[in-house]
Amino acid sequence: MIAIPSHSQVFLDTNILLYAVTDHPRFGQWCNTLLDRIHRGDVIGHVSTVVLNEFIHKLIIGEVAQKTGLKPGQVIQHLKRNPEALEQLEAYAIVDEVDTGYDLIILEVTADIFRTACRLMQARRLMSNDALHLAVMQRSNLQNLVTNDSDFDGIEGVHVWKPQEST
């Protein structure tokens, strides 16, 4: 495990949760080790409601694509035509486990945070959800971001921790 110091407070991007729960072949082990450290209280993990929303959305798209044989880009239209397909998905239990089982601190997105994110989109040339992540971090005085997203590289005041490949 890379040296995220003990007792550090970190903000987790959605990709870290996805790598962990899907046992990603390159990054799953590292991300699961980090979540275990958070659960044990060695590292303090934060996510936002936006991260959890992205997480469940991507899990649902992947699960429905796998069950139906559709390409991910076709799943939304399928779900709009067949909303009953949303009733019995494993994604809900997975998100509930992450929400309640890992001792993550869930941060809200307020109107003020949204306004800050809009300014950050322009100033930092970030997509909307990435800007929301950064705005939430700023509001919560978090400097450590765990992500595999290179869009955050080089942002002043943010220390980016990348998942390491399993050996």
Q: Give domain status of residue 39, yes or no.
A: yes
Residue 141 has pLDDT above 50, yes or no: yes
Task: List, for residues 109-139, the tens digit of each pLDDT value.
Answer: 999 999 999 999 999 999 999 999 999 999 9
Residue 3 covered by a domain:
no
Q: Which domain holds residue 102?
A: 9-161
Would residue 1 count as lying in a domain? no
Stated pTM of the model: 0.92
Q: Please state the separation of Cα 8 from the chain's center in Å.
A: 18
Query: Does residue 126 fall inside a structural domain?
Result: yes
Identify whether 166 is part of a domain: no
Q: How many domains does the chain have?
A: 1
> In whole numbers, what is the pLDDT of the chain averaged over residues?
94
Does a structural domain hold residue 167?
Answer: no
The β-bridge relationship of strands 159-161 and 144-146 is parallel
In the beta sheet, which residues pair with residue 106?
47
Please state, in angstroms and rounded to a whole number, the distance separating the CA atoms of residues 81 and 102: 35
pLDDT digits (tens, 9 = 90+) for 19-43: 999 999 999 999 999 999 999 999 9
CATH number reported for the structural domain that contains residue 22 in this entry: 3.40.50.1010
Residue 4 lies in a domain: no
In a domain, 148, yes or no: yes
